[in-house]
Amino acid sequence: MNSISTLFEKTYGHSPDICASAPGRVNLIGEHIDYSEGFVLPFAINDCTEVAIARTNDTVIKIASVQRKSEVLSIALSDISPALTGDWERYVLGVIWSLGITSGLEIIVDGKVPLGAGLSSSAALEASVATALNSLFSLGHDLPTLARLCQRAENVYVGMPCGIMDQSVSLMANKGSALLLDCRDLTTRNIAFDVASHGLELLIIDTQAHHELVDGGYAERRASCDEVVAQFNIISMRHLTMAQLDSKKAEISPTQYIRARHAVTEIARVMDAVVALEKSDFAELGKLINASHASLRDDYTVSCPELDCAVDAAIAAGALGARMVGGGFGGSAIALVKAENVADTKIEIQRAFEKAGYKAPRFFTSLPSQGARIL
Ligand code: GLA
C-alpha cells in the first residue's frame, strides 16, 4: 500500500478507490509565450502532489490535506461554483467542476511540490486530481484535453488567467526529457535533457520573494499581447516576425512594442534551444537561457531584484546560463552549472542575497521526471 493510501485510510476509515500523483515543473526556456501560441520547453521535477480519492453515495465533497493537518473540509456539490470563495481547495473543486463530476467524493492531498516557489504546485494539484478522476469515472479524456480542463479550472474557477504550459507538462512530461510543447495544438516532442552525463547540473534557486504584482502583472502582460494581436489583425504572436513588428512599430505603444519583441524573440529562442540540445551544445543553451532572462527583465519586465540577484550571482560564479522561470515577480530561477561548481555557486548566491539584505534563498535540483500517473 502506498503512503497516500495509508493517509486516506487514517482520515476516512477505509481505503481509497484510486491514487494518483503529478509533478511540479521548471521551464528550461520559453517564458510567457504559452498564451501566445508559442513553443515552450519545460520539464517535470521530481517533487509531486499525491492524491487519494473514493466516491461516496452522497452529494458532499470532503477534502483534506496533509499540509493542513488533515482537517476535513466539507462542501456540498450544489455549492461548487466559481463564486465560492476559499483557499487551496479551490484548485481541487475547480477540477471537479471542470470535469463535471456529480458524485460525492472523499479526497486527501499530499502536496510535496514546494509551495510559492514558482514550481507550479497548483498545476500539480490540478493534474493529480484530474488524473485520478479521469480514471475513477472512466471519462476517457486524453492528456491534451485533461490539460485544457485543468486550465479551465484555473482560469474560470480560480480566476487566474494562466496559459497551458504548467498543466500540460505536469500531465505529459517524460522521464529524462524536456517537453517541447506547441501551445497552439498541444502536440509534443520529447527532447533528451541529460545534463548529468555532460558534467552539468540544473540548479533551481527559490528566491523566496513574492511580489504583489503576481496576479495583476501577469494579466497586464497577457493583455498587452492581445492588444498587439488585435491591432495587427493576426491570430497570435506566433504569426509575427521581428521584421513585421519593426515595420509596424509606429502603430503601437512603446510598451506594447517591447512586450511583443519578447514574445517573438522568445519563441525563436526555444527553437534554437532545441537545436542546441540536439547537438548537446550546452554553451549555446546557456547563452539562450541568458538572453531569455534579459528579455524577461528588460522587455517583458516580469523579473524582480531578487531574481536578478540570483541570476547575476550564478553567472558571476561561472554558470553557463541562468534565468528566472515561471510567471515572475518572485519565485525561482534556474542556473546551468558545472557539477563541480554547484557548491561554490550556491555559496556565491547566498552571499549576494545576504549582502543585498534579502531572505536566504532555497536550493533544489531535479532531473527531468515523469508526468502524472496512477499510483
Ligand atoms: C505561469 C503560468 C504559465 C506561464 C508562465 C510563464 O507559470 O501558469 O501558464 O504563462 O507563468 O511562462
- The number of the ligand 1 atom at minimal distance from the alpha carbon of 32 is 12
CA dist 231 → 35, 190, 222, 251, 262 (Å): 17, 35, 14, 8, 17
Instruction: Give distance in angstroms: CA of 165 to centre of ligand 1.
Output: 6
- The number of the ligand 1 atom at minimal distance from the alpha carbon of 33 is 12
Q: What is the pTM of this model?
A: 0.96
At residue 213, the pLDDT reads 59
Residues 106 and 56: beta-carbon distance below 8 Å = yes
Mean of all residue pLDDT scores within the chain = 96
Instruction: Give distance in angstroms: CA of 274 to centre of ligand 1.
Output: 20
Residue nearest to atom 9 of ligand 1 (CA): 163
pLDDT band at 199 (very low <50, low <70, confident <90, very high): very high
- The number of the ligand 1 atom at minimal distance from the alpha carbon of 218 is 11
Instruction: Give distance in angstroms: CA of 166 to centre of ligand 1.
Output: 7
Whether ligand 1 lies within 6 angstroms of the CB of 330 is answered as no
At residue 158, the pLDDT reads 94
The number of CA neighbours under 13 Å toward the Cβ of 118 is: 32
Instruction: Give distance in angstroms: CA of 162 to centre of ligand 1.
Output: 6
Instruction: Give distance in angstroms: CA of 340 to centre of ligand 1.
Output: 31
pLDDT single digits (tens) 320-359 = 999 999 999 999 999 999 999 999 999 999 999 999 999 9
- Rounded distance between C-alpha atoms, residue 307 and residue 309, angstroms: 5
- The answer to whether residue 166 is catalytic is yes
At 8 the three-state DSSP class reads helix
Residues 58 and 77: beta-carbon distance below 8 Å = no
Structural domains in the chain, CATH included, are 3-190 (3.30.230.10), 194-365 (3.30.70.890)
Residue nearest to atom 7 of ligand 1 (CA): 326
% of the chain beyond a pLDDT of 90: 93
Whether ligand 1 lies within 6 angstroms of the CB of 32 is answered as yes
At residue 1, the pLDDT reads 62
- Pick the catalytic residue from 47, 166, 206, 299: 166
- Rounded distance between C-alpha atoms, residue 50 and residue 175, angstroms: 18
Whether ligand 1 lies within 6 angstroms of the CB of 163 is answered as yes
Overall average pLDDT of the 128-156 stretch: 98
Specify the DSSP class assigned to residue 114: P
pLDDT single digits (tens) 293-328 = 999 999 999 999 999 999 999 999 999 999 999 999
